[in-house]
Amino acid sequence: MRSPLAVKLVLFDLDGTVVDSAPDLAHAANLMLQELGRTEQPANRIAAWIGDGMIRLVKRALTGEINGEPDPALFARGLASFKAHYAAHLAVRTQPYPGVVDVLEQLSLQGFVLGCVTNKLETFTRALLEQLDLARYFRVVVAGDTVPARKPDPLPLRHACEQVRGRAERAVLVGDSANDVLAARAAGMHCIAVTYGYSQGRDLRALQPDRVVDSAPEVLQHLRLHD
């Protein structure tokens, strides 16, 4: 096995990396579709649409297409409906992936600085972290509307580094999507890709992240605290 990555700051994506939120996202999307009199979608199909933020998820649910653009008035109604339903079902079935809490605990005890960088809107991000008792692990949280850009743009990662006075070359992003790998590369930091999340069917190995793991506990094997 290759030598562990020497880092101080460990940033985690949220949906598909720290938590399995697909059940609640799919439920909210189908309640929205039901309210608008439209055909509901299978949960696994909605899960394949996760990763590019709430606006894109709602558009995909309304059109059934990955890059679909619904009628603006319909989208406005759909987004308001989705937000209301998701707020009411934020952590009903959403849970941390197996081993994630132990990974966060171990990294914290070892002296790593932890952060969460997600394309999820901040109001839902912080509420979800609080409801699942995960907020205490993260010194910095950068959500999809914290700064003017979202992953794969590197700005959220750079902003996270600035907030904790960290250096990108001593940081790693753990994520489940192409957005994560591309953002980390653009920000000049390491990246560990997880295979258990929402990759939209892409083989992340083709993007050449520094490491690829099949479970959260494996992350610990690939990190060494940089003094």
> Is 13 a known active-site residue?
yes
Nearest residue to 219 via CA among 51, 107, 96, 94: 107
Sequence-separated (6 or more) residues with CB below 8 Å from residue 87: 124, 127
Nearest residue to 179 via CA among 52, 94, 92, 42: 52
Return the structure tokens found at 223: 């990190």
Sequence-separated (6 or more) residues with CB below 8 Å from residue 12: 18, 114, 115, 116, 117, 138, 173, 174, 175
Beta pairing, strands 95-96 & 19-20: antiparallel
Which residue numbers are catalytic? 13
